[in-house]
Structure 1
Amino acid sequence: MNQQVKTGPIMAALLVAGFVGLFSETALNIALGQLSQIFNVDATTVQWLATGYFLTLGILIPVTGILMQKFTTRQMFLTSVILILGGTILAASAPAFGLLLAGRVIQAAGLAINLPLTQNVIFAIYPPHKRGGAMGIMGLVMLAGPALGPTLAGLILDTMSWHYIFWLTTPFLLFSLMFGIIYLTNVNEVRKVSIDALSVILSTIGFGGLVYGFSVSGTAGWTSATVLGSIIVGLIAVILFSVRQMKMETPMLNLRAFKYPMFILGVVMSFITFFNMLSMLVILPMYMQMALVIAAFTTGLILLPGSLLNCLLAPTIGRLFDKYGPKAVITPGTIFVVISYAIYVQFGTETALWMVVITHIVMMLGIGAVLASTQTNTLNSLPKQYYPDGIAITQTIQQVAGAVGIAVMVSLSESKQENYLATTGNELPQAAAAGSSFVFTIALVLAVINFVLSLFMKKPKEA
């Protein structure tokens, strides 16, 4: 660890801003129904507060790889925190729906810079044998933010107005800004790189089209021209983008990172983990509210022990990774996830709440072990000059995986519910249980695939 670099305060500045951004990603979900009435907009329109957030991340994260080479660490950091702060204040004081949505998009733009930047700084200021611990703490933030979002937002909505979901995070952002200004040094090498306009356009259409298509599939339906058109156009643009990157001397996103087998393995495992994790954070509360008929705030409290335990153990998991290598941490983690989904599949309308709590704790421990360790190993397998590209690739894939996971799992759950209701009449709790059990079965299959893949994880010879 560099002596002149104060790693603690630097990490605090980056991670606090990241936590606020990730907390904001899911916190508003619980208030969408209320906001739909307050601003007098329909359910499809209000859903844009979530869709717009994902869409902005999907579009901007691929561009950050080249931005981190073009601008200094401090420039990138200040831009990210000012965007998150500005977006938060705009959203908190928004008198109209359009301004609230604009605030969300500006918040997401800041987070799109913060997430890759934090990973890049970790890889610059920590030697390979200490990265696991640092990435473990980042993993905790990446899990705790989205997981605590609905719980804390539920508490805020029960006691105050929705504006405070935003207002209460502003002091943390001001703290982050102050610490960053004082302690953050420029740790990246700035190069003269030109940003290729066609690459940016193809990336925007490609990743934006995919995220948008999947995000609106729940409301528009999978067979709608908008959904199919967005996904097809997105796929074509991603293919054209990839071909262009391979032909360019200095690509916007260096896809040569895919030459490294451990990188490919890590990317696939990250995709499955995020696909399953973000869809679970939506499906599980839906199951509890509809099948077990419990209030939103109670749902948040039931999910709290798993999230908190994960927070406490994240640094330890990172240290175990540093000491014993990837397989010793990741494979047991995937086993925990498999066991949890195997139990989730059995859940019905009579499931005891303590059973939900215990299973969620096991699940969060498993995800905690897989998430950060997989990311660390994936990036450790690359040469140093590929770090910004590797980080941008993995972060983009994670955001796309999350958007796709939520859209696919929610729509499958709802179609299963409708089929159940069509054959049995009006037993909504049973239908909700059948729908969630069906998607948990799919998630279980994916979790087993991740377990098998983890057996091939190796520590890269030289980071």
Structure 2
Amino acid sequence: MSIKTPISTIFKTVITIVSKYKIDVLSIILSAIGFGGIVFGFSYAGDEGCSSPIVLASLGIGVLALVIYILRQLTIEDPVIHLKVFKHPMFILAVVITLFGNIIGFSAHILLPLFMQGGLGLSASAAGLLLLPGGMINEIMSMVRRIFDKYGPGVLVIGGFVISTIACIFFANVSLMTDAYLTIFFFMLLMVSLSMVLVPSQTNGLNQLEPDLYPDGTAVINSMIQTSGVIGTALAISILNISQHAFLSDISDSYNAVNKAEALITGVQNAFTFSSIISIIDLVCSLFIKRAKAGIE
């Protein structure tokens, strides 16, 4: 007499349900036009100025495309990105902090080499080597995760924006007599502050989302990182160029090397004054941050 053993008792079968999603081609096209228009507009603004017709047209088309894109995501059955992520206040705060924080960081990375070369008279290689410690500081700041787990995001984010505001105010007051090593020190402080701010705020924002919204939240934050990089660089160069032209137009000898250096420093000061304002705004926003739990508002 044979005994038939059910196969289910021998093998444990894991059944995965395959879900088929329709790709909304129009949404992808709208997002490409929207982000592409904004990125192109801000990039072009660095050379032509914010009042250029091409810049204004690009930004207008980009914003209009994004508005249509958002409205479409709210109405179609299978949106490319679920905008329900913006129902969570800590996630919204993370997006704002990511946007403004990266604007400050990218502005510093483009302005300080120009200042050290054109203002302090250093060579390109010397300026790069002197700024290298600030770029490496992110590796040292791996301990941020432990502080986040123990104390939550508030201590890190608020403290980070206090430090970034101090650093930006310092850079807004640089001159021909500013010590290069002092510049390095405050650049390192700025990099430390951004390490304290960006990852903890993003992690905290994503923690508030339901698990099925993690991919959407990550996509939104990654988009903000890319967009803020372009915006920060373009704004820094635009303010720098406008300030330089205004300074040189007020003096008779615009070809003098000292005058050119002073014009550059004036542009750097004005650009970092703008960064200081952004840092203060972020500092105020960070006062409302609190440890998030998944799906809890």
Q: Could you tell me which runs of 5 or more consecutive residues in structure 1 were left unpaired when the two chains were aligned.
A: 1-188
Report the alpha carbon displacement of residue 224 of structure 1 after superposing the two structures with TM: 2.7
Q: 1:199 aligns with which of 27, 36, 39?
A: 27
In the TM superposition, what are the counterparts of 1:6-405 in structure 2 within 5 Å? 191-313=19-141, 315-405=142-232
Distance 1:222 1:454 in 2: 29
SS in 1 for 2:121: coil
Deviation track 1:344-363 (CA, whole Å, cap 9, x = no partner) reads 11111111111101111111
Report the alpha carbon displacement of residue 306 of structure 1 after superposing the two structures with TM: 2.0
Distance 1:303 1:311 in 2: 15
Q: 1:432 aligns with which of 243, 264, 276?
A: 264
SS in 2 for 1:250: coil
Q: Could you tell me which runs of 5 or more consecutive residues in structure 2 were left unpaired when the two chains were aligned.
A: 1-16
Report the alpha carbon displacement of residue 307 of structure 1 after superposing the two structures with TM: 2.2
Q: 2:233 aligns with which of 396, 406, 409?
A: 406
Distance 1:357 1:409 in 2: 19
Q: 1:449 aligns with which of 281, 287, 293?
A: 281
Of structures 1 and 2, the one scoring higher in RCO (CA 8 A, sep 6+) is: 2
Report the alpha carbon displacement of residue 190 of structure 1 after superposing the two structures with TM: 6.5
Distance 1:451 1:221 in 2: 29
User: Are the counterparts in 1 of residues 34 and 61 from structure 2 also a CA contact under 8 Å?
Assistant: yes
Normalising to structure 1: TM-score of the pair? 0.58
Report the alpha carbon displacement of residue 227 of structure 1 after superposing the two structures with TM: 1.4
Report the alpha carbon displacement of residue 428 of structure 1 after superposing the two structures with TM: 0.7
Report the alpha carbon displacement of residue 251 of structure 1 after superposing the two structures with TM: 0.4
User: Are the counterparts in 1 of residues 82 and 216 from structure 2 also a CA contact under 8 Å?
Assistant: yes
Report the alpha carbon displacement of residue 302 of structure 1 after superposing the two structures with TM: 1.3
Distance 1:222 1:330 in 2: 32
How many residue pairs get aligned? The number is: 275
Distance 2:175 2:49 in 1: 27
Distance 2:276 2:122 in 1: 25
Normalising to structure 2: TM-score of the pair? 0.89
SS in 1 for 2:65: helix
Point out the structure with max Rg over C-alpha.
Answer: 2
User: Are the counterparts in 1 of residues 91 and 202 from structure 2 also a CA contact under 8 Å?
Assistant: no
Distance 2:284 2:36 in 1: 31
User: Are the counterparts in 2 of residues 246 and 256 from structure 1 also a CA contact under 8 Å?
Assistant: no
Runs of 4+ aligned residues of structure 1 deviating over 4 Å after TM superposition are: none
Deviation track 1:78-109 (CA, whole Å, cap 9, x = no partner) reads xxxxxxxxxxxxxxxxxxxxxxxxxxxxxxxx
